[in-house]
Amino acid sequence: MTHALAGAVLLLWSSIVRTRSIPLSSPVLEPAAQAFVEATANPPYLFDLGPVDGRKTVDEVQSPEIEVPGTEKENLGAVTIFRPAGVAGPLPVVLYIHGAGWVFGNDHTHDRLARELALGVGAAVVFVNYSLSPEARYPVATDENYAALRWVVEHGAEHGLDPARIAVAGDSVGGNMTASLTLTAKERGDVRLAGQVLFYPVTDASFDTGSYHQFAEGYFLRRDAMQWFWDQYTTSEEQRAEITASPLRATTEQLAGLPPALVITAEADVLRDEGEAYAAKLREAGVPVTAVRYLGVIHDFVMLNALRGTHGAGAAIAQAVAFLRGVLAQP
């Protein structure tokens, strides 16, 4: 191809791109996601209820628990261990850090998800019962999460766990604290992590991305709700800027060498863009990354029992299971 012809092709292509740009459109949600959005469209919103009543509401939304046969649950206080029933150890470990805004959530709200991961991966899911905000503010929860990780390393064998095979996972703010934990583990150098799964993670204390504006209201998780959640966690701008609070602000040097990552985002979610930006930055730092945006679903689509039947939730959980099985296959 001559230089003149190549130039003409590029000029034509740029003209097509300029004149045929695709307009921003509203997502077409899966029916269950659309029904959930409509059911939660009007106030009072969770953040209007405050921490105590909000916790009761989240617990009720996730009740009754969906049974996952073939699993066992053992509450040890600081952690709850979910494992496949009747499977002899030592089992590989998925340390799970739950979401729900740092304010809500527990081993009941995430019971079904934790059991599905345990059964699918063939691993023990060590679910961290960290202290909630605003009663406990940053960095209390991140410190407790790391203490739970150290507990697995030091005492896991006593409970049928394999401390040589540990992956970490979390959803929403749990994804935030999972990313934080991987950064701390790298800095301290005292724990080897096989992989990380981040479901629609919070990665930055900023509310100005395209998805934050496009989905600011009307899609379950609102922009003003995230501002309220952050205020419960920490109001300090200095703390919010720390990489263990806003991992997106970590340098590529700080991210280099982190464990392989699976980052899952939802199409209609204020957190979508920052999750994908974090995946891109991990990739830039040389971390093996798989990043997938699931269409037709909203924030919390993996955790919410009401959305478990969506195609998006089923596929995302299956993908997470396959990823975790892979990274935990070898010590």
Residues 225, 315: Cα–Cα separation, whole Å: 27
Query: Per the omega criterion (within 30 degrees of 0), is the bond before 134 cis?
Result: yes
Residues 282, 248: Cα–Cα separation, whole Å: 9
Residues 295, 317: Cα–Cα separation, whole Å: 14
Q: In this structure, is the dihedral angle defined by the CA atoms of residues 109, 112, 117 and 122, taken in order, positive or negative?
A: positive
Residues 118, 70: Cα–Cα separation, whole Å: 10
DSSP label at residue 215: T
- For residue 297, what are its two tokens? 């679903």
Catalytic residues: 172, 269, 299
Residues 233, 109: Cα–Cα separation, whole Å: 20
Q: Is the distance from CB of 291 to CB of 279 less than 8 angstroms?
A: yes
DSSP E strands: which ranges in the chain?
Answer: 71-75, 79-84, 91-97, 124-128, 161-171, 196-199, 261-268, 289-298
Q: Is the distance from CB of 297 to CB of 30 less than 8 angstroms?
A: yes
- For residue 313, what are its two tokens? 């939730």
Q: Write the DSSP assignment of 12-38 as a string of letters.
A: HHHHHHHHTPPPP------HHHHHHHH
Residues 73, 63: Cα–Cα separation, whole Å: 17
The burial class, CB within 10 Å (0-12 / 13-18 / 19+), for 254 is: middle
Q: Which amino acid is at 62?
A: Q
